[in-house]
Amino acid sequence: MAERYRRFVKSIPAATATTVYTAPDDGETSPGAAESVIIGFLVASTSTEAGEVTVEHTNYYDGTTIKIMDTIPLPADTSVDLIPGKLVLQHANNNAETPALTGDILKITSSKTCDVFISVVERV
């Protein structure tokens, strides 16, 4: 299996849970289970007022949602590295009666406007 390095950039409105990344399947011609590794997760404030950021993870397997980070301070006009380590996300069959391929989802909610820059290694 090969790997590809990708980046995702998204503007986040205030007080709205916004999907910033969904783990993809392992190929364009033959979908299947795969892993993605978040290697960088930078949040930059675009507001002149300080805010707070919450990041949620929705599990591909059973759809449960947990907070990875809750009310992390986001100073005005600055940026914060939210995940300084690695975060592995999966794309595989879920636990439904008729299993279907689906991927982990990361959502971010910020009390003020911000931009998100995510660096990812994906298996292809």
Read off the pLDDT of residues 39-75 as tens digits, 9 standing for 90 and up. Answer: 999 999 999 999 999 999 999 999 999 999 999 999 9
Query: Which of the pair, 124 or 80, is modelled with greater confidence?
Result: 80
pTM: 0.91
Q: What residues have CB less than 8 Å from 70, skipping those under 6 apart? A: 54
DSSP, residue by residue, 22-43: E---S-SSS---EEEEEEEEEE
Q: Is the pLDDT of residue 25 over 90?
A: no
Fold held by 3-123: Jelly Rolls (2.60.120)
pLDDT higher than 70, residue 30? no
C-beta of residue 124 within 8 angstroms of C-beta of residue 27: yes
